[in-house]
A and B are shown apart, each in its own frame.
Chain A
Amino acid sequence: MNQSVKYALGLLMLAATPTLNSCQNDFLVEKPLDILTPDNLYVNKGGFESGLYGLYNMVRRERTGTDGNNNGLILTPAFVGVDNGFSLYPGTGAYEQVFNEFGIQLNSSDGSVRQTWEYLYQVINATNTIVGRAENPAVVWTPAEKNQIVGEAKLIRAWAYRHLTFLYGDVTLNLTESNGNTIRTDWDRTPIAEVRKQMEADLLFAEANLAEAASNVARMPRAVATHYLAELYLTTGENQKAKDKALSLVNNPLYKLVTARYGVRKALPGTPFTDMFIDGNSNRSEGNTEAIWVLQNEYQSLGGDGNIMRRWWVSRYETIQVSGKRPIIVSIENGGRGIGRFGITRFGLTLYGATDDRGSYHAIRQFWLMNNPTSLPTGAKLGDTVRTTRTGPETLSNPSWPTTRKWDYAPAVAEDVQSPSGYNDQIYLRLGETYLLLAEAQLKLGDAAGAATTLNTLRARSRATPITAADVTIDFILDERSRELITEEHRRYTLLRTGKWLERTKKYNVVSSTKITERDQLLPIPQSVIDANLTKKMPQNPGY
């Protein structure tokens, strides 16, 4: 080989250097630079905390919308198809329509039924990843830091199983991080009592290890565990324990019912009760002494996301026609833009006494202001009111149907009133509900007088008239919960817990009353889950 050939060869080798100079054993080993893996994240406190914030993001998805387009409330069945909630404008084939129509539309192949299940198990696997990997002795943290983080993860695991058990009944109890090397096809449905034992253990661990006050507003304080324990014990019939837990929280000096006007609109007309829902008032740091857990949103922020509570609960008032005109357009005063997927049943609207702030026009919209100068009816002027539908049962697609103002108190943003999302921080759990859990425990323990006292404390805050022990029944407490928590609580779960879902929904929900049956107390197990259980038959819920 002559010199020039050698030289040329050398040049070519140089051109080939990028691939040849790497050690051959390494050449096929992947070193992804843009992907985090569980193995390199969960190694220290910071890594585990970012795992937790991922979980908080997932919990917040309950109100974010499922399709990336601010549509689809993933826990729809918790809110509609119940005594006080129905779908006012159901989307064709959409989740809310399924829970208006039931029957053949509620089936195991329904995409939404499947999506909810997948969502909750995705959360569970993420919590299992944190709980399991926390046992790695190489993790750099103190025992207290570890227990705090594991406690929050376990609490969110219990949160997910709470949804699953109320929605689907017996569900698979999965407590270990999934691994691609062992895909199982023989999952069982664990008896609900056993799942609840695990929820209890997780919540007790959280209660024992979470800080009394969370280190920042994004995270849950210990009280969340106590609150959910009270509810769990009511569900399992351990009423004394329920009372103890609820009472410990009611007596906790950190938490107080909001009984006086406060916050950003203190000087404007309003009520103490409705002040809590106003954007800028919902967090503890903003004066809300009643808040236990507040979901965080932020406008135009990468971690801020948005929520669709207003979009879902506010009606399409801008389509109201008066004498052939459309005098109302979307505005902040009128509550921002909603598409009214959900509505409150007439029953839910009529539960309030005359003096009750919770039924006042500050809490439930009773009129809109004409604000469209280009489409005013003859003789009308800007600022005239258009009243909501005052009487009669709920019907579909009625733009004049009264709506809650809990969520329209946070109009998106002044410059974008059409925005589908809201960016307010939203109360997720508050002490008002703990009072109701306490009253329920007291009643079940035979202490109707105690229950009346508890309820009167709550009622007094909203100027509702006092009641007596004789008034307190389980139905009264369910009515009171509706008055206090309408659109906030997972109503279906409450009704199932008290064995009242079928009875009360038949009685009070005009849209669905003739359509629901015993079967509908549980959702079907998604067909995809049954299909994938190749080596063991997974039973379907009865009737599907």
Chain B
Amino acid sequence: MSSSQLSYADRSGIAADFSGEQGANFFIPLATPYNPDGTPTIYAWPEYNLAGNPLAGILATNVDVTYRTFSNNSLRVDVPFVKGLSYNLNTGVELESNPQRTYYGRDTRVGFEGRGLASTSDYQSRNFTVENILNYGRSFGKNTLNITGLYSTQSTGGESNALTGKGFPNDVLTTFQMNTAALLTPSSNYFKQNVESQMLRINYGYDSRYLLTLTARRDGYSGFGLDTKYGIFPSVALGWNIARESFMSSANFVTNLKLRVSYGLNGNQAVSSYQSLATLATRQYVSGTTIVPGYIPSRLGNERLGWESTRSFNAGLDFGFINNRIQGSIDVYSRNTFDLLLQRNISSVQGFRSIIQNIGKTANKGVEVAITSANLKTGDLTWTTSANAAYNANKIVDLYGNGSDDPGNGWFIGRPIRTIYAIQYGGIFRTVDEVAASPQTTSKPGYVRVVDVNGDGKINADDRTFLGNLDPRVTYGLTNTVTYKGISLMVFIQGVGNVTKDNPLVDDAVFTDVRRNTTKKDWWTPTNPNATHWANDANANLLNANVFENAGFTRLKDVSLAYQLPATITKRLKMSTLKVYLTGRNLATFTKYQGLDPELTNQFGLPLQREFLIGLNAGF
């Protein structure tokens, strides 16, 4: 079998800068973004020449296209004389080329100051996969046996050559004038990562009632240290199809009932190539006008970098009752991950801030439930509900084998790995007396109070405390669908709970010289002493106490109302189907979180949009 694809994707164009350091979100509202002739200005804020116009991106010439060739070829050989034995060879070849060219002319700040700024890069990557699969499958009476052996390799690599030039005689030739640049900065990049895998899997079934799967894998990854490239990952899974047992034959309401239990080890290679190698960074110098090459150590090697492994136990029950009118599954699991691949902050007297290491042990325990129920099925009216919910508790079990915590990384035994460990915002000082009685004696009314957690009369790093968990413990979703004749209404609600998040919008980070815009607040002033927010003063929160909030939310994610015209009408219109629908997305969010959106990573970024969609589906 062979299948090949050629694809072309064009992502050209640079968007206006919304959330960047000098993006529109932070920009002065009194800016002059456009010249009288309607073109964007170079400096939208003339008094502040470090900020270009956030719209500059739309003036840039940018080409960013990707060409991809993808070919999958496979061959199956049924080995003669041995019934049930077959050999499969799967190969995949993927070639990608991604040329990029950008030019900022003199109508943008960077182009104006650099007398044109051009950058080009050519990125080429390759991905080769080869899988050799030997399969043997037979049935002997009530026994079924399936044995699969796999040997595979995967190789991914690429390189890029890039050139940045500035100082051009004019903007006419955009990126096609590198030969005239006053300063050219070339750079090149290369990477390659290889994976080798061997696997043996045995599936055994008896009477479709008892199922056993044994798997053993051995994977090797080039990105790990010389002696730690390979990991061995065995697992066992058992299934019991209870519904097929004879003693269940009288329980007519049970359509499906299956118990699953599995135990095994999984590997994770979550680091990119060369992370185990010590590297040097380029730091050139100059002697007169002669450039002299210079290097300094830039990364610690770690010859022992290896697989992150997870030992998991999972027990699940799949069920279906009353002809599957009610069906679903319940899973409970316990996953112990060890040798986690983590970027660890180390003492910088070693000349480096951090190193990637295999560290510690964590435990995840959780429950996942999914259920779908056809609540109503009477004539023209149907009502279906699907619900799913998951609970996961994560904690660190061990870090370095000696039971000690690691405050520098915010890792504490017994606490979630993404726990928040920081100084605590304690409201604002209201009076001079409150300031005098606090450890922040140089503070003022209206300024931020930091909680003296250990009560030693000083505010310092010893007052850091636990303020929540960045990962939600609870996630859930609920879909209700009601259909009456041709009309159907679907409502999808989703949410997370038990999660905490920093709210940067509370922070009046107006930056030095008040260069950034901020959200309007109920600021403290001498005449507004009961304000909810601290004074609008650059020095009000010098210790940078962050405000953390409950970021749990419930969102009315999708509501869709559709009407399918009856066949009598469509027939008359000589159509096979005709459906009109109205869909609303992100219609309402219920949360205590005061930021832009509890789900967004960047609270200064573009928010989720509320979308309405009116559609017509016609078939002839």
Asked if A and B bind, the verdict is yes
Contact B75 A9, beta carbon cutoff 8 Å? yes
Q: Could you say which residues of chain B place their CB within 8 Å of the CB of A24?
A: 196
Partner among B128, B284, B303, B460 whose Cβ is within 8 Å of the Cβ of A108: B460
Given contacts A30-B223, A34-B190, A301-B183, are A217 and B287 in contact (CB under 8 A)?
Answer: yes
Residues facing A in B209-239 (CB within 8 A) are 220-223, 226, 229
Contact A19 B286, beta carbon cutoff 8 Å? no
Partner among A37, A128, A515, A532 whose Cβ is within 8 Å of the Cβ of B347: A532
A56 to B97, alpha carbons, bound, how many Å? 39
Contact B284 A300, beta carbon cutoff 8 Å? no
Partner among B89, B183, B220, B229 whose Cβ is within 8 Å of the Cβ of A300: B183
Given contacts A183-B357, A544-B460, are A19 and B128 in contact (CB under 8 A)?
Answer: yes
A5 to B86, alpha carbons, bound, how many Å? 14
Residue of A nearest to B230 (CB): A28
CB distance from B120 to the nearest CB of A (A): 17
Contact B221 A58, beta carbon cutoff 8 Å? no
Given contacts A35-B279, A303-B285, A533-B347, are A27 and B222 in contact (CB under 8 A)?
Answer: yes
Contact A12 B91, beta carbon cutoff 8 Å? yes
Whether A50 is near chain B, meaning CB under 8 Å from some CB there, is yes
Whether A298 is near chain B, meaning CB under 8 Å from some CB there, is yes
Contact A104 B347, beta carbon cutoff 8 Å? no
Size category of the binding interface on chain A: 35 or more
Contact A125 B352, beta carbon cutoff 8 Å? yes
Contact B459 A104, beta carbon cutoff 8 Å? yes
Contact B544 A93, beta carbon cutoff 8 Å? yes
Residues facing B in A162-205 (CB within 8 A) are 171-172, 174, 177-181, 183-185, 187
Contact A174 B350, beta carbon cutoff 8 Å? yes
* Highest count of chain B CB atoms <10 Å: which of A24, A38, A101: A38
* Highest count of chain B CB atoms <10 Å: which of A285, A298, A420: A298
Fill in one digit per residue for A523-537: 1 if any B CB lies within 8 Å of its CB, else 0: 000111111111100
Q: Could you say which residues of chain B place their CB within 8 Å of the CB of A527?
A: 408, 461
Q: Could you say which residues of chain A place their CB within 8 Å of the CB of B115?
A: 415
Residue of A nearest to B349 (CB): A172
Given contacts A29-B222, A53-B285, A54-B296, are A92 and B130 in contact (CB under 8 A)?
Answer: no
Residue of A nearest to B509 (CB): A92
Whether A236 is near chain B, meaning CB under 8 Å from some CB there, is no
Contact B278 A56, beta carbon cutoff 8 Å? no
Q: Could you say which residues of chain B place their CB within 8 Å of the CB of A138?
A: none
Residues facing A in B123-175 (CB within 8 A) are 126, 128, 130, 153-155, 159, 166-167
Contact B407 A118, beta carbon cutoff 8 Å? no
Contact A92 B538, beta carbon cutoff 8 Å? yes
Q: Could you say which residues of chain B place their CB within 8 Å of the CB of A33?
A: 159, 190
A535 to B406, alpha carbons, bound, how many Å? 10
CB distance from A544 to the nearest CB of B (A): 6
Contact A12 B274, beta carbon cutoff 8 Å? no
Whether A16 is near chain B, meaning CB under 8 Å from some CB there, is yes
* Highest count of chain A CB atoms <10 Å: which of B77, B130, B182: B130
A33 to B194, alpha carbons, bound, how many Å? 15
Q: Could you say which residues of chain A place their CB within 8 Å of the CB of B80?
A: 1
Partner among A29, A122, A179, A303 whose Cβ is within 8 Å of the Cβ of B292: A303
CB distance from B194 to the nearest CB of A (A): 5
Contact A303 B348, beta carbon cutoff 8 Å? no
Contact B274 A30, beta carbon cutoff 8 Å? yes
CB distance from A323 to the nearest CB of B (A): 19
A29 to B226, alpha carbons, bound, how many Å? 7
Q: Could you say which residues of chain A place their CB within 8 Å of the CB of B606?
A: none
Whether A439 is near chain B, meaning CB under 8 Å from some CB there, is no
A92 to B351, alpha carbons, bound, how many Å? 28
Q: Could you say which residues of chain B place their CB within 8 Å of the CB of A180?
A: 278, 300-303, 355
Selected A-B contacts with CB under 8 Å, 16 pairs = A1-B80, A30-B223, A37-B279, A50-B292, A56-B294, A91-B512, A126-B297, A171-B349, A179-B301, A187-B347, A217-B287, A298-B289, A301-B286, A302-B284, A304-B291, A531-B461
- For the complex of A and B, 10 pairs with smallest distance between CB atoms: A125-B351, A531-B408, A53-B294, A303-B284, A218-B287, A54-B294, A180-B300, A303-B291, A91-B512, A57-B283
Partner-B contacts on A (CB < 8 A): 1, 5, 8-9, 12, 15-16, 18-20, 24, 27-39, 41, 49-58, 60, 89, 91-94, 101, 103-105, 107-109, 114, 117-118, 121-122, 124-126, 128-129, 171-172, 174, 177-181, 183-185, 187, 216-219, 285, 296-298, 300-305, 415-416, 418-420, 515, 526-535, 544
